[in-house]
Amino acid sequence: MVDYLAFVLTSFLDWNKRRAIYYKLRLMKAHIGRGVSLGSQCIFNIEQESFRVGDFSYLNGAHIVSASYAKVIIGNNCAIGYRVSIKSTTHLMDKYWPCENSPPKMGGKDIIIGDRVWIGDGVFIKSGVIIGNDVIIGANSVVTRDIPDGKIYAGIPAREIQNG
């Protein structure tokens, strides 16, 4: 009985956390497609209208960072694993902090992920990367450049290991 109560309580807390994520995304005017599943471990640091995910995609525990000048766009039927980092913004390396009280200078470029993309656990996707359709990215890879359609990439930095 105790195990069942623990299961029910855990399920309720997970559901409530997911509901809070969806509510935050609606407030930020993110476009969430039909049948999208967002895991309770997802983290979103986004600005208004800077995030879009297509129909029937799921994100298990991704960390998404986007801004008005650097959007994140995820296509239809994508599978994104745990601890995946998709950050379209970054600190500019050519700008130093002029004084202690000023914020760092930020920059970035759009990240676009095509349709039917499978991204394994622990992947990092660098700002400005475009990933084509029907792509697989192996776990713990670091994607630093564009990936064309129908390829399988893995490694640090991610390199083609096989045609799809």
- Report the mean per-residue pLDDT for the chain: 85
DSSP assigned state of 151: E
DSSP labels for 81-121? EEEEEEE-EEE-TT---SSTTSPPPEEE--EEE-SS-EE-T
Q: What amino acid positions are annotated as catalytic residues? A: 91
The model's pLDDT over 8-62, given as tens digits with 9 standing for 90+, comes to 555 555 666 667 777 777 777 888 899 988 888 888 888 888 899 999 999 998 9
Confidence of residue 113 (pLDDT cuts 50, 70, 90): very high
Between 76 and 104, residue with greater pLDDT: 76
First-to-last alpha carbon distance for the chain, in angstroms, is: 48
pTM of the model: 0.83
What local confidence, expressed as pLDDT, does residue 136 receive?
A: 96
Confidence of residue 111 (pLDDT cuts 50, 70, 90): very high
What local confidence, expressed as pLDDT, does residue 154 receive?
A: 96
- Virtual CA dihedral for 56, 24, 26, 13, nearest 10 degrees? 50
